[in-house]
Amino acid sequence: MNPSDSVRRPKFLTYRIDEIPRKYATPDQLLQCFHSDDKTYVHVKSFVPSISDIEGGEHTATIQYQNEGRPRLDVAAEDIELDPDFQGFTPLNAPDENVAADIIAVTGLGGHAFGSWVNSRGHMWLRDYLPKDLMNRARILIYGYHSVLQKSHNRSSLRDYSDSFMQDLMGIRSQHGIKDRPIIFIGHSLGGLIVKKALSDLGPDVLSRMPIRSILFFGAPHTGLNIRALQAVVAGHANETLVRDLGENSSVLEDLAQSFEKIAKFIKIYSFVETHDTPVVEQINDELRRRSVREVMVSKNSARVGCPTETVRWVSSDHSEMVKLRKGQGGHYLFIVNILKEALQSAPEKWEGSMLRDTPLFDLPTEHNHWLQDHSLPTTPQRGYGRSATFQLVQSSPNSNTYGTTLEKEPPSVVQENEDSRSTQIESVGMHPASLQDDDTYW
């Protein structure tokens, strides 16, 4: 073992501050809300207009506290709330006036809306890299939902999660000048299925008015997830049914695949397939830890949609690490940037939806409109760390008829440890934030 493998990294936690009042109009003014002994350790990483503020003037911030514990607020800052959970939508940047698209990233099962995308250096690529590399032409948002694995009291199903996601999405896009803006979805694991289910359940009229440019699926278990280790964790708890529905040979996922097939041919899809086994989750003394035993979480077949518009790429990483991107590591981040740049440069008229409106394939059953019956449903509350992957870029097969753009052959097995498989900052898993070693973290 490399001696540095056992060294813990600093325990720096990230919080969201939403609906910041107008009187705190700048990051410096926000810092004045913190206790004098703590403000030195508070770093404002993003300070952008709030998506829930109709009149304008309020902001949403992400801050990093570079010290132990939780930062204290000044007694006068009673209208400021520190949120470690990041439920619902969180905007990460303030794009230029001419916004080309919304990029929306949805985390996976037991994941954290922010932490699941953070690499070992503490950088969150969707916030720290992507806005600048896309010349600030896209609004970037992350979406979080409660999917804690341990001792869960949440009985939400895949349909429940997708309904809430779409209701929240419609809510933030209802403002003037936003509802027709193109969308690019990024979904990791269960997050990909939530996006897939939400789009499949849309009626033809609604879907035709949602200009979906592309979807990036990272380890989305289209035909099932390896749930053997998870079943022991959720046995007897409220989320047991959800985990079972995500397993291999699931009728829920089979039905979803059939529904999504009707719309997938109109959307450019990128599917990223993990090539490393993932440490198995085990519950020890009421804590979840990763064991040294590794298994395939999402098989290479399960990670593929299987439609003509799909491009499949291998990722030299495990299921959790594949979305913790770093710059300059094997070209994987640049590949993602190029995908997104291409989507942003697509001709707008291609996405106006007229083709979809006139297409009989969208004569979906009326039950798919179930969530549209009541627009008054409340949205998810807007109250609110890391490692990376290497892509295996290989020649695409020009003769493939099954998966659109697929690989000529599978990549060779990769047995070496990633540089980022050392002790890291937490990827919060639906729990309160804390800093753990690699073998403590999961999903």
Whether the predicted pLDDT of 397 surpasses 70: no
Q: Is residue 166 part of a domain?
A: yes
User: Do 183 and 332 share a domain, yes or no?
Assistant: yes
Least confident range from 10-19, 206-215, 269-278: namely 206-215
pLDDT band at 10 (very low <50, low <70, confident <90, very high): low
What is the pLDDT, as a whole number, of residue 113? 98
Least confident of 70-74, 205-209, 398-402: 398-402
User: Which of 83, 106, 129 represents a domain boundary (last residue)?
Assistant: 83
pLDDT at 200: 94
Is residue 5 a part of any domain in this protein? no
Q: Is the pLDDT of residue 2 over 80?
A: no
**pLDDT above 70 covers what percent of the chain?**
72
Instruction: Give yes or no: residues 76 and 89 share one domain.
Output: no
pLDDT at 77: 79
> Does residue 74 share a domain with residue 90?
no
Residues 24 and 107 in one domain: no
Q: What is the mean pLDDT of the chain?
A: 79
Determine what percent of the chain is predicted with pLDDT higher than 90.
56
Residue 29 lies in a domain: yes
Determine, yes or no, domain membership for 1: no
> What confidence tier does 168 reach under pLDDT thresholds 50, 70, 90?
very high
75 with 97, same domain?
no
* 416 and 353 part of one domain: yes
Is the domain of 16 the same as that of 58?
A: yes
Higher pLDDT, 211 or 205: 211
Number of domains in the chain: 2
Segment 142-171 shows an average pLDDT of 94
pLDDT at 172 over 70: yes
Q: Could you say which of 83, 108, 136 is where a domain stops?
A: 83
Shared-domain flag, residues 135 and 107: yes
Residues 105 and 149 in one domain: yes
pTM tops 0.85, yes or no: no
Q: Are residues 325 and 392 both part of a single domain? A: yes
Whether residue 117 lies inside any domain: the answer is yes
Lowest-confidence region among 95-109, 198-212, 359-373: 359-373
Q: What is the CATH number of the domain that holds 338?
A: 3.40.50.1820
**pLDDT average, residue stretch 148-169:** 93
Same domain? For 434 and 396 the reply is: yes
Give 428-440 pLDDT, tens digit per residue: 322 233 333 333 3
Higher pLDDT, 396 or 303: 303
Decide if 221 is inside a domain.
Answer: yes
Residue 159 has pLDDT above 80, yes or no: yes
In this structure, is residue 380 part of a structural domain?
A: no
What's the pLDDT score for residue 46?
98
Contacts of 344 (CB under 8 A, 6+ apart): 100, 101, 134, 137, 138, 213
Residues 246-271 have pLDDT tens digits of 999 999 999 999 999 988 988 999 99
Which of 43, 59, 83 is the endpoint of a domain?
83
Q: What is the pLDDT of residues 217-233, one digit of tens each?
A: 999 999 999 998 888 88
pLDDT at position 96 is: 87
pLDDT digits (tens, 9 = 90+) for 340-375: 999 998 735 333 443 343 333 333 344 444 444 433
Range of the domain at 239: 85-372+385-440
On whether both 52 and 96 belong to a single domain, the answer is: no
Is residue 420 pLDDT above 50, yes or no? Answer: no
User: What pLDDT does 293 receive?
Assistant: 85
Band (pLDDT 50/70/90 cuts) for residue 182 is: very high
Lowest-confidence pick of 157-171, 322-336, 392-406: 392-406
Mean pLDDT across the stretch 32-49? 96
Q: Is residue 17 part of a domain?
A: yes
Specify the pLDDT at position 332. Answer: 80
